Structure 1
Amino acid sequence: MQSQQESPVKYLVVPFETGTSPAPLKRLGPHEVLERWHAVDRSAHGPHLVVVPDENGEGWAAAALVTARPHTAYLKIVDAVGDVSTAVAAVVAHARGLELAQVKWEGWTATPEDVAAAGFTPLRPPLAQAEEAAGPAAGHVRWLRGCAAAEPPYYGQTTHFTCGAVTALVAQAHAGTLPRDALDRRAELTLWRDATNFPACEPVGLGVAVHRAWPSSTVGIHLDTDRPVLLDHLPESEQEWRAHLQGMSRADAARAGVPIGTGRLSVTAIRNAIGRREQVLLLVSLAAMQGFDVPHWVLCHGTVPGAVVIEDPWAGAAVGDTWVDAHLLPVPDRSLDTMSAVSADPFHGAVTIGRPQPPGASPSGPADE
């Protein structure tokens, strides 16, 4: 048990173990709340209790269950029990002590009055989620470092393979190029069908599909290898025809004038692109955040000191991960750099999307800096 203090909040950090609730917590927490806390194995996301002792120091006045994806720059309050305002203030102090960028709060039991009093801002609810997704109807955020990043719509991919299409659609909705009400499953599957390498979307095919869908937007493709990618897990007979499709995508990019940069898009370059009001579709491995090495597309759209703000269209319900985690997610620069190395023989892939160009302007810009 670790005791920490940030004036005027005195709090303790206590490990949380699935299936076991300390006696002081049982006295504070309603049965249905504690039941939700133990309903899934949250161990992959560092669950712990932030506890405020009572005045005589013999019990607890308040407590909050706190989790976060590994290698990120936020904490998430699942619920707060007892003196809710004091519990939330303790979590904020805890996050400041860890020099994190943000605290989120799932809306299972949070009231609008408590949310506003604690300085949190409501998040827009998701437009869609996968059938197996399990999350609260509401979520809230408080930024601790830097200016709050502008909020894109959150859309959870509805299949296991449409992350690339979803990140592109969310980027265009965030830019105002695509109406929010057009961000739906039909749009998701339509763009995926144009971009897919069956079933994954590799960088060149995705970039070409984005250019086809929005020819006035500046598109750049970044891929630091000439070999076919995202095929290593397939038998050789399955790799051959998909590699041929990737060659066709490169020919399509050349005909359309969409540049393919052969250098790695560094985190500095990602920050610079965002500073130019571009958005970056970045291919990452989920090994650091979720514990399994699967290639996955995320959208980089904002920055705060020390971290890039992303949208992740996938959340792992089985470990208590919800859309509140995946939305407006700050990832430290160093972590993002590590995540962007994909596969056992690492390569790096990204697609940059700029603002729509006026008629007569070249739709595609330089792919490397």
Structure 2
Amino acid sequence: MPHPVPYAVTYAVVPYAPGAGPSAWPEGLRRIARPEVLERWGAVDRTPHAPRLLAVPGDGGWAAAALVTARPGTAYAKIVDAVGDVPAAARAVVAYAEEQGLVQVVWEGWTVSGEDAAAAGFAPLRPPLPGGTDEPVGPRTGYVRWTAGEGVAEPAYYRQSTHFSCGAVTALLAQVRAGVVRPEALGREAELTLWRDATNFPACEPVGLGVAVRRRWPSSSVEVFLDTEEPVLLDHLDGDEREWRAVLQRASRAEADRLGVPVHGRRLSLAELREAVEAPGRCRHVLLLVSLATMQGFDVPHWVLCHGAVPGAVVVEDPWFNTAAGETWVDAHLLPVADASLDAMSLFGGEVRVRGAVLIDGA
């Protein structure tokens, strides 16, 4: 049923059938959307992100529509494109986001102009830093509108160039935001050099990552939180493959003690995490180890950078996104993750779930 919304716009949520082809799309959509836009919409399987159409009715058909998606477990909605009466489509999406309790709407800049985005209350996002691969990152522009709170200061975005260097990239992004590293210095060489110093082959475990950060930037205050003394991220290994990595983790703990890096044998609470990134006058960041099971559908450990908070959500930078599901850098940048979701996804391991975090204070 159509929903009355605060902007004198009525809209309907229409199921989107990916892969069905243009002939299966509603006639109202085909009348207002250019063929190349519909072709791009159907070029990937967006099913993991619950794609839906928000349609604004007009005289004898649709006046406007927007394709909207979002990662599961998050607190945002993404406009892939708005067609027809673009301002009306944008108003409908913002109203929908507010009704759903979402804190943010982002807009991929495939077809929208900066002027139209600004008129709808959206601010331009900083373009991503050049990455270390030739894989496209999506549109050159993107836009954001916060629906809860005042938003957070925007850091630079950089996409990791390998499947295993997320820990190094989040540390580098934290130091770029703190002014310790120049943005132009962030590239594949910097990424892989720090990864080589931090890796447990191929993953970066919390203590090793914290030690690598302290060695690289001795003036930065670093603390590690890990509520186990056992080796971590080794559940998929056994025998000698597990043991030699465990030796390296014990060596990292010894190095942390030598360098004066505190390793707290307890879980960093969500309240403590929020307090850290919200501290006024401080430039504090939390590198947090999460499982991608909720957001991407596979239980793989992954580092994200927590750098701000808004009511009900922590704002992170995710250095990886899934192009096969239609994601672009706009999904992974300034990403608000609902508190309860982040609390759940930041537990990893086997039968005993633990949390790993590295707190960097750049103040």
TM-score normalised according to structure 1 size: 0.94
What residue is the counterpart of 1:126 in the other structure? Answer: 128
What residue is the counterpart of 1:360 in the other structure? Answer: none
CA distance, structure 2, for counterparts of residue 221 and residue 98 of structure 1: 36
User: What residue ranges of structure 2 are gaps of 5+ in the alignment?
Assistant: none
Q: Residue 285 of structure 2: which of 279, 283, 298 is its match?
A: 279
CA distance, structure 1, for counterparts of residue 295 and residue 265 of structure 2: 27
CA distance, structure 2, for counterparts of residue 215 and residue 268 of structure 1: 28
Q: Describe the superposition over 1:80-99 as per-residue Cα deviations: whole angstroms up to 9, x where unpaired.
A: 11011110111011101111
1:352 aligns with 2:353: no
> Do the aligned residues in 2 keep the contact of 1:76 with 1:106 (CA within 8 Å)?
yes
1:195 aligns with 2:198: yes
CA distance, structure 1, for counterparts of residue 238 and residue 193 of structure 2: 27
Q: Residue 48 of structure 1: which of 45, 52, 57 is its match?
A: 52
CA distance, structure 2, for counterparts of residue 131 and residue 294 of structure 1: 24
| Shift, 1:133, TM fit | 4.4
Q: Describe the superposition over 1:214-267 as per-residue Cα deviations: whole angstroms up to 9, x where unpaired.
A: 111110001001111111112322111000000000000000010001111111
Aligned partner letter, 1:352: L
CA distance, structure 2, for counterparts of residue 100 and residue 133 of structure 1: 28
- SS of the equivalent of 2:2 reads strand
| Shift, 1:302, TM fit | 0.4
Matches within 5 A, 1:1-369: 2-7=1-6, 8-18=8-18, 19=20, 20-55=24-59, 58-129=60-131, 130-276=133-279, 277=282, 278-345=284-351, 346-356=353-363
CA distance, structure 2, for counterparts of residue 144 and residue 292 of structure 1: 30
How many residues are paired up?
353
Aligned partner letter, 1:6: V
- SS of the equivalent of 2:143 reads strand
| Shift, 1:131, TM fit | 3.8
Aligned partner letter, 1:351: V
TM-score normalised according to structure 2 size: 0.95
**Identity across aligned pairs (percent)?**
62
> Do the aligned residues in 2 keep the contact of 1:128 with 1:158 (CA within 8 Å)?
no
CA distance, structure 1, for counterparts of residue 68 and residue 110 of structure 2: 14
Aligned partner letter, 1:11: Y
- SS of the equivalent of 2:286 reads strand
User: What residue ranges of structure 1 are gaps of 5+ in the alignment?
Assistant: 357-369
> Do the aligned residues in 2 keep the contact of 1:133 with 1:315 (CA within 8 Å)?
no
| Shift, 1:134, TM fit | 4.2
| Shift, 1:343, TM fit | 2.3
Note the aligned Cα RMSD (angstroms).
1.0
Aligned partner letter, 2:361: G
- SS of the equivalent of 1:44 reads helix
Q: Describe the superposition over 1:201-220 as per-residue Cα deviations: whole angstroms up to 9, x where unpaired.
A: 00000000000111111100
